[in-house]
């Protein structure tokens, strides 16, 4: 309770709607139709299914240029290589999957634009692991073209940061401006359905007061999805605590002035007290419900950073990745993010200056 009081008195809260730079209009929308969640149509797994479907007609003729390997076993890098290789049939097969995915992504964007809280969206950044490939970026670009060609006035493009870094860099926009006084860096955590990443983000405020030069100084990753057996929630927590303590030691040895702040992006609907109401089903163990509070567990394990009490602030992982775009979205008023990975994350923002001017 003392920690929650500290956070409220600081003028911030877990999953806050109003952040220093933006207001969050909506996030973590879970849309369904007769076929299930529409986000499942534009996941990483969905792209592999589309690739498999594009190979089927050729396989029936004994002409599959991608060989015997299953579509789910191709790495992103391998598919990118095939796109640029000299075998036109192989390239064309991957291109066909990109086209199918782009059509579906454009359809999903249309559905989002019809939702309350997404009206008037002028730009959407696309992040997540799918963006980290040539095939992904081409699919995003093609979907953007399809929407524009229909007369929908919206910009659809990949996020500027590498998605692994965007999920950490965005954490600086969770912190109140006063916390940077006397500090040049902070801890950030990006929790996903496949891995957990923790890092030290340097703010570089002297170079850019708007935080546009914030960058990941060092990060560590744990791919919990690759573990066998699947780790428990407590095992995952202990692993994360170990990563953070290691980063604190490294920052100290490098003479970084680390702020007593940890910003966390986590899947699902986050409540004001830091618990996960729903949407954490892909995490190792059961993270949902009132019996588990990640922020409280971390502050108990890492009560101080330097000379001051640790403050932990959580928000949805798509929100945090979207926040990495804040310095680059000053030319619009309302914008959003879609993160394509194990599932489809989403958030819509209104820049605070625009919001307050209209109010």
The overall average pLDDT reported for the chain is 92
From CA 180, how far away is CA 201, in angstroms rounded? 12
Q: Mapping DSSP to helix (H, G, I), strand (E, B) and coil, where does residue 75 land?
A: coil
**168-to-47, 119, 211, 300 alpha-carbon distances in Å:** 26, 28, 13, 22
202, 214 Cβ separation under 8 angstroms: yes
Can you say how many angstroms the Cα of residue 120 is from the centroid of all Cα atoms in its chain? 22
pLDDT for 355: 53
What the chain holds in terms of domains, given with CATH numbers, is: 2-17+162-322 (3.30.420.40), 32-114+120-158 (no CATH)
Can you say how many angstroms the Cα of residue 338 is from the centroid of all Cα atoms in its chain? 8
| Count of other CB atoms within 10 angstroms of residue 257 | 14
Q: Which two tokens stand for residue 4?
A: 């929650």
From CA 51, how far away is CA 70, in angstroms rounded? 10
pLDDT for 235: 95
pLDDT for 9: 41
pLDDT for 356: 55
Tens-level pLDDT at each residue, the chain (359 residues): 444 444 444 446 899 999 999 999 999 998 887 778 888 899 999 999 999 999 999 999 999 999 999 999 999 999 999 999 899 999 999 999 999 999 999 999 999 999 999 999 999 999 998 999 999 999 999 999 999 999 999 999 999 999 899 999 999 999 988 888 889 999 999 998 889 999 999 999 999 999 999 999 999 999 998 888 989 999 999 999 999 999 999 999 999 999 999 999 999 999 999 999 988 888 988 899 999 999 999 999 999 999 999 999 999 999 999 999 999 999 999 999 999 988 899 999 999 975 554 55
């Amino acid at each position: 309770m003392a920690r929650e009081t500290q956070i409220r008195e600081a003028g911030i809260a877990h999953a806050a709607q109003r952040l220093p730079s933006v207001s969050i209009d909506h996030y973590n929308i879970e849309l369904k139709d007769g076929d299930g969640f529409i986000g499942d149509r534009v996941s990483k797994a969905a792209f592999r299914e589309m690739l498999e479907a594009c190979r089927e007609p050729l396989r029936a003729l004994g002409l599959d240029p991608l060989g015997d390997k299953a579509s789910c076993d191709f790495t992103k890098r391998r598919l990118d290589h095939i796109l640029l290789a000299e075998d036109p049939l192989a390239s064309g097969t991957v291109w066909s999957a990109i086209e199918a995915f782009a059509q579906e992504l454009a359809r999903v964007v249309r559905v989002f634009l019809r939702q309350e809280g997404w009206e008037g969206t002028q730009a959407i950044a696309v992040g997540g692991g799918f963006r980290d490939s040539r095939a992904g970026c081409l699919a995003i670009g093609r979907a953007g073209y399809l929407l524009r060609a229909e007369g929908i006035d919206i910009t659809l493009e990949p996020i500027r940061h590498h998605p692994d870094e965007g999920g950490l860099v965005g954490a600086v926009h969770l912190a109140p401006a006063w916390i940077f006084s006397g500090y040049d860096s902070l801890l950030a955590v990006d929790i996903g359905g496949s891995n957990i990443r923790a890092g030290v983000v340097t703010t570089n405020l002297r170079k850019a007061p708007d935080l546009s030069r914030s960058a990941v100084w060092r990060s560590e990753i744990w791919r919990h999805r690759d573990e066998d057996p699947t780790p428990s929630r407590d095992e995952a927590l202990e692993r994360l605590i170990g990563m953070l303590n290691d980063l604190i030691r490294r920052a100290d040895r490098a003479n970084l002035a680390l702020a007593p702040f940890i910003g966390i992006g986590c899947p699902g609907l986050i409540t004001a007290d830091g618990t996960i109401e729903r949407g954490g089903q892909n995490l190792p163990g059961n993270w949902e419900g009132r019996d588990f509070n990640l922020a409280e567990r971390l502050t108990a394990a890492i009560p101080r950073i330097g000379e001051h009490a640790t403050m932990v602030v959580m928000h949805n992982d798509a929100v945090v990745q979207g926040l990495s775009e804040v310095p680059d979205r000053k030319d619009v008023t309302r914008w959003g993010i879609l993160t394509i990975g194990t599932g489809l994350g989403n958030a819509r923002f209104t820049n605070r200056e625009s919001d307050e001017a209209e109010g």
